């Protein structure tokens, strides 16, 4: 049995490039930057950015190309695919690992500038009872354990 699934969230490094193949299929190519932050063994903050090439075919690619621009955050899931080719200058074989996007979600409400402009009604709230993320206590606030429903 083989399993090939990847889920990534990052920011677009440039506007997606929409192309059409000779047989008429649309595809969007784009790169997402994924940041990782951690503390080293001596307590120093470390940062690392990975740049992941992605390809989205058909309507998926058209939608990504139409609504997203450089800097927008995007959640993608798909499969890894390795491409190989021969370098024309050196004659050496080259390869790259890409994500073929099968599903995606707009992280910032699909809004081009990443800012939500809609007023949330009770039905649109992300949490039951109309509580948004602002109602979650921060680290400085004490949590009343009797408020936890389990």
* C-beta neighbour count of 95 within 10 angstroms: 8
How far is 35 from 45, CA to CA, in rounded Å? 13
CA distance 56 to 84: 19
Smallest CA-to-CA distance from 30 within 75, 61, 8 is with 61
CB atoms within 10 A of CB 69: 13
148 falls in which pLDDT band (50, 70, 90)? low
Give yes or no for residue 6 having a pLDDT over 50. Answer: yes
Each domain of the chain, given as residue ranges in start order, spans 6-114
Could you report the per-residue pLDDT of 76-133, keeping only the tens digit for each? 999 999 999 999 999 999 999 999 999 999 886 544 444 433 333 333 334 343 333 3
pTM: 0.68
Tell me how many helices (H) and strands (E) the chain has.
1, 6
CATH number of this structure's domain 6-114, picked from the four choices 1.10.8.640, 3.40.50.720, 2.40.50.140, 3.30.9.10 = 2.40.50.140
């Amino acid at each position: 049995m083989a399993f090939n699934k990847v889920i990534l969230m990052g920011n677009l490094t440039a506007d997606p490039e929409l192309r059409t193949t000779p047989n008429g299929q649309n595809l969007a190519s784009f790169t997402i930057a994924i940041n990782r932050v951690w503390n080293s063994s001596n307590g120093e903050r470390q940062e690392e950015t990975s740049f992941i090439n992605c390809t989205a075919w058909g309507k998926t690619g058209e939608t990504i190309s139409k609504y997203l621009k450089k800097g927008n955050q995007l959640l993608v899931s798909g499969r890894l695919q390795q491409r190989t080719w021969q370098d024309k200058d050196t004659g050496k074989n080259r390869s790259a690992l890409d994500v073929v996007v099968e599903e995606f979600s707009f992280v910032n409400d699909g809004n081009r500038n990443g800012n939500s402009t809609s007023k949330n009604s009770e039905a649109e709230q992300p949490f039951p009872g109309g509580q948004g993320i602002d109602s979650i206590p921060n680290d400085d606030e004490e949590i009343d354990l009797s408020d936890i429903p389990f």
